[in-house]
Structure 1
Amino acid sequence: MVEIAILGSTIVLLQTIFSFYQIKYYHHFIKGIVKSYEQKTNYHLDTEIVKKTFGSMVIVVVTDGNNTIIESYYYRGFTVFSKFQDFNEIKGKQLDKCLLDHLENKQLSLKQKAIKQLINKKLKAVAF
């Protein structure tokens, strides 16, 4: 019984340490993007998180004043060793209703669901 308690405590401790590592990596990555655009005007950074049973997906998008996607990245948060990767499929596209309509009729992957949520959130912000 003591062995099970020690194993459980070790698992919880490791999960906590790895969670701090992931949070630190996320903040470092976002801070780097913000720093590269801090002297430029009319650029926006948006993020969206979609959770699934095992893991999650984070989308990071930088848009210009016309809502054209300048930079985009995704992070599949299943393990502590995951890193942000380029999301080239949406670079150069407009983050607007046309992209949302394009995604409406598709079997959505986790990345597409994140983009759809991001667009919906952006459109709601514009509507109010």
Structure 2
Amino acid sequence: MTIAEVCEKYDLSQDTLRYYERIGLIPRVNRNKSGIRDYTEEDCRWVEFIKCMRSAGLPIEVLIEYVTLFQQGEETAQVRKELLIEQRKQLMIRMKDMQKTLERLNDKITRYEQAVVGAEKALKRPED
């Protein structure tokens, strides 16, 4: 796949993909005879993984650490697992905070809706 196709598939900019490659989040992508990046299925799996983890809020630094450990082989499997467990804990904390915020927004919206209905009723007076 070309960089344009990968960008469209994963809704990322070309600059983002190049940045991820430059900092080592995705492996160096092979190039065709013309020097154009040629993404493999394996490359795309890395792109999908990184995008998913970034969407979950994992910092770039943590992802760099994870990829570095992955490249070191199976002897780092336990460390990688622990890293992911810690990130899962952090994500769960953020999700609880977001849930509280959502509840507060819902309460606020409900109060505004009730105020609007109350105002409309006050404007509609029965005819004498």
Q: What is the TM-score when the length of structure 2 is the normalising length?
A: 0.28
Q: Give the greater-gyration-radius structure (CA).
A: 2
Structure with greater helix share of residues: 2
Structure with greater strand share of residues: 1
Q: What is the TM-score when the length of structure 1 is the normalising length?
A: 0.28
